[in-house]
A = this chain, B = another copy of it.
Amino acid sequence: MSDAAPHRVVIVGSGFGGLFASKALRRAPVHVTLIDRVNHHLFQPLLYQVATGILSEGQIAPATREIFRNYPNMEIVLAEVESIDPVGRMVATTSFGESKTFPYDSLIVAAGVTPSYFGSAEFRERSMPMKSLSDALALREQIYGSFELAELEEDEAKRRALMTFVIVGGGPTGVEMAGQLRELSRRALRRNYRNIDPAKTRVVIAEGGDRLIAEMGERVSHITLHDMSKMGVEVHLNTKVTDLGDGWAELLLPDGTSEKIQSATIVWAAGMRGAPIGEQLAQATGAKLDKGGRVLVEPDCSVPGYPEIFVVGDLMGLGDLPGVAETAIQSGAHAAHVIRRRVKGDDKARDFHYRDLGNLAAISRFKAVAKIGPVSVGGLVGWLLWLVVHITFLTGFKNRVGALARWAVSFVGRGRSERALTGRMRLPS
């Protein structure tokens, strides 16, 4: 042991931001405490594949401890962060009812975003989010459970409602979910039922804006809209969800008319806002939040007046960066590098510069859209890109091989490996 205690870095969140910040601190002369309320790193871009039964939960959610087992300077803590004290430099947490505080010298807040439900308690209660692993498992149970119920149902209208899925939001998550639901109904469930025809499943996307996956540019939006329509997804653009009830969604269409869709499953894939800890941090530090609840930071990702506190990833408000994994990866690593240099005595300010490596979304098997710099592609070329990128970024060799095998099962074949209902279901009565 050296005579000075090592510099203590606390990282809040084991998503992409926290993961890459931790990796960048490997072998640095610091002690890292990574705190999250879940025990795994979630590979969110493939969450919809867990929801639709292609992948198992472990394949996209390796245990954080296992990822960092060879980082002796790191400790993993399963706890919920309650508040940050920027003056006393402490993070207060609770875990299984016990309170514990963690002092820090540097802090990286990578707590991400949560569904906003546009502030409506009704929307929160009536729809199913797609953000955490348990969200995906609940949705899986809901999807396969709905087909089971439909098979038993004798009332034609109720049966139709069970086979109707409304997705609120036409971003990548909404589009990928819709694509998979149509794949399920057209191919994967073939010959599985005797009383219903899964091919008749109705999948509706309600998007408030005028384009699908707007962040990927006009050409990609155009390709996506075309592909979705061809697959039988009903896309409503410029459409607001005005009300959700028990088994129905009311849409306000662009022509001013309302449509009430009977649907047992309403997936929330729309508005997100910064995690609540961002608000608390802003209050305590005097930092400002943008209207999405993101903490506005300095060009080096630090909180104004608190150079030792960094906010990275989706919770970070900095310019007009897209809310994607790549932003979190790069900003997390950036904050860690600033800390590494400081510990070595190099205090020079270094601004964060985002490098746009492109963006991808899967449409169906063998079809995806991609935007890399000025180039937009779709179809099989897009899908091959999608395949290579997702395999590369999946954490851990065994998860890569496992995912490839499952994709062979589901895309070359037509099966879905994870269809077991285990009582996580929340079905309408």
Contacts and interface: CB of A to CB of B under 8 A. Distances in A.
Interface in A22-63: 38-40, 53, 56-59, 61-63
A291 to B, nearest CB: 31
Nearest to A54: B58
Contacts of A100: 152
Contact of A77 (B76, B152, B399, B419): B152
Interface in A128-181: 133-134, 137, 144, 148-149, 151-152
A344 interface: no
Nearest to A67: B192
Nearest to A406: B402
A131 to B, nearest CB: 13
Interface residues on A, range: 35 or more
Contacts of A56: 56-59, 417-418
A420 interface: yes
A98 B151 CA distance: 13
A158 to B, nearest CB: 11
A336 to B, nearest CB: 20
Interface in A68-108: 69-70, 75-79, 95-98, 100
Nearest to A70: B191
A148 B398 contact: no
25 contacts: A40-B420, A56-B56, A56-B58, A57-B422, A58-B417, A58-B419, A58-B420, A62-B419, A63-B144, A63-B192, A65-B192, A65-B193, A66-B419, A69-B192, A77-B152, A78-B152, A78-B421, A96-B149, A96-B152, A96-B427, A133-B422, A134-B422, A398-B413, A398-B415, A405-B405
Interface of A: 38-40, 53, 56-59, 61-63, 65-66, 69-70, 75-79, 95-98, 100, 133-134, 137, 144, 148-149, 151-152, 190-194, 398-399, 401-402, 405, 409, 413, 415-424, 427, 429
Given A56-B57, A63-B420, A399-B417, 12 more contacts: A39-B144, A39-B419, A40-B420, A56-B418, A59-B417, A63-B416, A66-B192, A66-B419, A76-B194, A96-B149, A97-B429, A398-B405
